[in-house]
Chains A and B, each alone.
Chain A
Amino acid sequence: MNLVPDDDLLLIADTARRFGKDVLLPRMRSAEADRKLDAETRRAFAEIGLADLERPEEVGGAGLGCVARVLVNEELGAADAGAALALDGFGPALYPMLEMGGDLSLLAEAPGRTLLVTEFDGEFQVDGAKISGMVPWVPASEAEAVLVLIKDEAILLRDGWTLESIRGAGLRAAGAGVLRIDDAQPVARLAEASGASRARARARLYVASLLLGVLRASCDYSREYAMERRAFGKPIAHHQALAFLITDMQMALDGARLLVHEAAWRLDAGLPAESAAASAFAECIDASRLIGPNGVQILGGHGFMADYPVEKHMREARALGLLFGGFDAAIEESGRLLVTREAPLAIGIGGAL
């Protein structure tokens, strides 16, 4: 047993951390205001070679797995989760293609962004060969393609939809839009139940790991602030009410991260992972409800101001947690799977926890 990622993956994570700190973080507010990334950011990202982490090697990717993804996403999310979404062309839309036997040559064309939306994100009507629908918010103002994952089916669209730019509550570096699909003709339809649920699991971990990054940034920033800021003759972190709060925030973060890592490891190992991934996402959202608002709380009035990053963390953590059905869809799926077992936490086949 080894709960720590292997050294080669930690090296990749470190590359992502440095990119986040050196490139994304200084541009965090300008990217938010511009609703897009500048050319310099994109160029710098292309240079570090993290763009095609999970694409199979035969279509020009690095062919890495979920553990690599969640490590990288945490690092990018800690700097700017919106930018992380904007930089990843296929993003989680890759997963239905990979897991459901999609034509991988579609990936080789390397378009702009492909958006993944699920039945939980909006309303859809599939009528014979055509699909219509509406998603009130996607973290994008423009896209090359849309992949709709509804239950066991994935539907890839190249046209027949519009994106109307909106303000968006967070993640604005990736843009924000209303997605309207009007009698669109799919370019590909994939139907495969087990692949669809694995795709869903991977998509949840994708968002969960961005969320971990945002939460870590909030924990770190507010903790460091609390050790500097003095009130009543000592650092505010040394008042027990805040010391314990900071402790609880860190515990929530560490616990959620371990669940994400375990679920990612299960996916890479080819073990059943749907319940673990859904619960890991749910736990990240649960942690975000503690950490997001309290990161602001620790800074008091300053926390409320856009001069500090914690208000952005609070907004964006919440927005991320709404994707792909958020908490409710995650616990519903996980719960349904769990109750089919007599002892969900008994050491299972092959000795996996």
Chain B
Amino acid sequence: MDFGVDEATRESLAALRIWGREEVRPVGLEADREARPIPVGHAYFDRCLARGDGRTHWRPEGAPKSGRKTSTLSRLLLAEEFAYWDRGVMIAGPGPGLPELSVISSGTEEQKERFLGPFVEPDRPRWACFAMTEPGAGSDAAAIQTRAQKDGDGWILHGAKCFIGGASRSDWILVQATLDPSKGRAAQRAFFVEQGAEGLGPFKIEKKMGLKAYESSSFTLDHVRVPAENLLGGESRYERKAGFKAAMATFNAGRPIIAANAVGIGRAALDEVILFANQHDLLGDARVRDRIEAITRKVRMARLVCLRAGQLADEQRPNIVEASMSKAMAAQVAQEATSQGLELLGTVGARGDHLIEKLYRDAKAMDIVEGTGQIQRMIIARSLVGLPR
């Protein structure tokens, strides 16, 4: 047993801490103040590129591999640290983002070259995104209605997507659509839709309660035509898809990342609470200390639950229950930490210009994205008590 963090991860954390303090937090506060996503041309994104961010891990065949492979545990600690400074800014960063792993695991070689190639050494900040959520289908992803219809040797996509991160600035959008809405997940396919495609958009940039630094867009697909080679993995992939789904059922890497983000938000609230209490000479009050103890304890616990899910992932052991627990717990803990923080601030917390107030708004999303707390509990209960689907 060893709850220590390895040297390499500590170095990465220390570098990220400086980046966070000097770049991430200020640009996040700016976005929040101005109530808009960080604009595409913002110098922050250029600095991200200069720092080495915004790139794909994929390499063309024969090219040297990219950097060292980081463990899930280490990625979780980094995700926590980034969110400590600003979770919205973390999501706003350029790069192939959410769909990258799907493309690497399921795309054809030609698709990887075409869609990830520009992210190997990007000439400018570039984005890509994944579009699943629809106005009428969030957690129940089997219920999406965006249709894909065969048209000659290509496809016609028709429907509407919402709350998609960075859609209007993306080079391409991996759109999830269905051949037949009555047939659930089995009938779903993913398509690369390139920016500028006829019938794509307009993009409505949503006004959000928090996490304003990244763009969340809603858009329509009005009979958008995509060529056959834009079907993720090509036709043949769907004949061997069963195996892939089985693997996904026992293992999850995304939810612990959100959990780690929530832990970071909770930790930021904690440090702000202590700072405020110090400045206002409140630490002599047992009620204040109790509150600080409770926040610390719960955030520490959520962090451990999150790391446990990460360790299982690193060991390639089933972690579905632990991943969902980490997400359900950490999101709740972050909300509670920020809310208790506001309690301490009193009316200062209601002015709308304190970091804890922003964190209170930001934290709420952690209990919604990647499956709400209720969905997580359903997933856990399936394993724990055999709750039927």
Contacts and interface: CB of A to CB of B under 8 A. Distances in A.
B4 A352 contact: yes
A3 B274 contact: no
A351 B387 CA distance: 40
A220 to B, nearest CB: 11
A223 B292 CA distance: 33
Interface string A196-231: 000000000000000000000000000100110000
Given A250-B380, A262-B304, A282-B297, A335 B292 contact: yes
B56 to A, nearest CB: 27
A342 B275 contact: yes
A339 B274 contact: yes
Given A1-B6, A246-B384, A251-B329, A335 B290 contact: yes
Given A339-B283, A339-B289, A254 B305 contact: yes
A6 interface: yes
Interface in A253-302: 254-256, 258-259, 261-262, 265-266, 269, 276, 279, 282-283
Interface string B278-302: 1000010010011011101101111
B296 A351 contact: no
Interface size range on A against B: 35 or more
B157 interface: no
B304 A279 contact: no
A1 B4 contact: yes
B301 A334 contact: no
A6 B2 CA distance: 9
Interface stretch (A93-101, A137-145, A235-243): A235-243
Contact of B1 (A2, A247, A352): A2
A223 B297 CA distance: 27
A343 B299 CA distance: 12
A331 B4 contact: no
B380 to A, nearest CB: 5
A254 B9 CA distance: 26
B205 interface: no
A331 B277 CA distance: 17
B308 interface: yes
Interface residues of B, number: 51
A258 B305 contact: yes
A255 B305 contact: yes
Contacts of B7: 351
Interface string A323-345: 00000000110111011011111
A244 interface: yes
Contacts of A346: 267
B53 interface: no
28 contacts: A1-B73, A3-B304, A223-B385, A226-B385, A237-B381, A240-B381, A244-B374, A247-B377, A258-B305, A279-B297, A282-B293, A331-B293, A334-B293, A335-B286, A335-B289, A335-B290, A335-B293, A338-B289, A339-B278, A339-B292, A341-B274, A342-B275, A344-B296, A345-B270, A345-B299, A346-B267, A352-B3, A352-B4
Given A1-B3, A235-B386, A342-B274, 5 more contacts: A238-B386, A240-B378, A243-B377, A265-B1, A346-B267
Interface of A: 1-6, 9, 67, 223, 226-227, 235, 237-238, 240, 243-244, 246-248, 250-251, 254-256, 258-259, 261-262, 265-266, 269, 276, 279, 282-283, 331-332, 334-336, 338-339, 341-347, 350-353
